[in-house]
Structure formats: structure tokens, C-alpha cells
Amino acid sequence: MTVKASLRIMRRELGFYFVSPIAYIVIVVFLFATGWFFFSVFFLNGRADLREFFSLLPLILTFVVPAVTMRLFSEEWSSGSFEILLTFPVSTVNILTGKFLAAFSFVLLMLIPTLSYPIFVSTLGELDWGPVVGGYLGTIFLAGLLCAVGLFTSSLTKNQIVAFIVGVAMCFFLTQVHRVLYLIPAFLTGFFQFLGASYHYNNIAKGVLDSRDLLYFVSLSFIALYFTNAVSYTHL
């Protein structure tokens, strides 16, 4: 795998994003949702913090990230362009890495405008920046995991809508399973709590950098990407 080849794929995919109306729709929906939740909760509580904002962000990303990733492989399968892409000096790992970096970068770019929220809050009162930094750091790790899961679901089908629906379902499980722990037998509660992304996300958002939480995001992202690459081999 060469870094240059992966970066070429990344630039190619980012270019596709910015010429697609779907990408701009996703950006508008994301910024509208985050803005609406932030300002409605902020003025309701009247507190100079962003805890509610960061607690709602995983749910928003659950729907936004699969919309970003749904076309990355499914479009290749439906158009037959994957085989053409492999005629160039690139490997399946190059393609996978480039597509992941493109989706991840696109999501991070969407997050940049939300930096105006803590700046706005800091002008109204004394803001504790520690949880803000932790919240964004946790969001970065979560976004990486959801992008990897979204790539995997995109690789499973030629239909982008199906890829989106399956992606939302998998991301919803990861980010919201903690809400239904009371329905799970007691001896399995600890396992499903650890399996859920929100448990680890919330730890990082509190400013607690535990290696177990970081390892969770990195390892699960790697597993999702590994299976995505395995699926892509079936299309050779």
C-alpha cells in the first residue's frame, strides 16, 4: 500500500462529494439539526455548557454518517467502476483507505462550523473548556468508527438506499444500545454497555482518556474496515 495512492483516492472521493447535491443537503441537515438542538436546549437550560449538545451529537451522526458513506462502495458495484479503478496502480487497501479518509475528512469538515457554539457560549458566561475539548475528541473517534461501519454497509449492496438503511441500523445500535440495557438480562448488561459506543464516547467527553476507550474505537474501526476489504475482494 502506498500513501500517495490512498491520497489520490481520497482527493477523488472528496471531489465527488463537492459536486454532488446530496453532500450539500447532508451538510445543511447536519448544521440545522445541531444548531436547532443546541440553541433550543441552551436557552431552555440557561447554562454556559455544552453537555446536552454533545449528548445529542451521537444520535445526529447516526443518521448523517451513513448518508455520507452510502455511495462509496455501492456506487462502484452498481456502475462496475471498481474493476476499472483496479486497472490503475492501486490495491483494494488503497481504495478502502482513500474512501475512509475522504468520508472521515468530510464529516470533520462538517463539524468545524459547530465550533461557533462553544465560542458563543463563552461570550455569555465562563465556559469550562475541558469538557468541550473532550467532547470534540470523543466525537472525532466516534465519527471514525461510524465512517468505518458506513463503509462496511455500503460494501454489502449495490443499492445506496439499502446501504443507508442498514448503516443507520448498525450505527443506531452502537450509539443507542445503552438506552435499552434495562431490557437485557443482568448478566449481559456489562457486555452490551461496553459494546455500545456511547459508553466510551461519554467517558472521553468527560475528559477521561482511558486507553480502553481509545482501543475500543480504534479496534472496532479496524474490524469494520477489515471486513469491508474482505467484501471488496469478492468483487475482483
Helix (H, G, I), strand (E, B) or coil at 41: helix
Output Rg (C-alpha) for the chain, integer angstroms: 19
Give the chain's domain count: 1
Distances 214 to 30, 102, 140, 141, 232 between C-alpha atoms, Å: 25, 22, 11, 8, 27
- Give the separation between CA 72 and CA 155, rounded to whole angstroms: 8
Written as nine digits, the cell of 147 is 465512517
State which residues form the domain around 173.
Answer: 3-233
Based on DSSP, count helices (H) and strands (E) in the chain, helices before strands: 12, 0
Mean pLDDT of residues grouped by 10 in the chain (236 residues)? 86 91 92 88 70 90 97 91 80 93 97 93 83 94 98 96 97 92 85 91 88 96 96 82
Distances 79 to 76, 173, 210 between C-alpha atoms, Å: 5, 30, 44
Q: What is this structure's pTM?
A: 0.92
Kindly report, residue by residue over 120-141, the tens digit of the pLDDT: 888 887 788 888 999 999 999 9
**DSSP letters of 54-88?**
HHHHHHHHHHHHHHHHTHHHHHHHHHTHHHHHTTS
Residue found under cell 470533520: 108
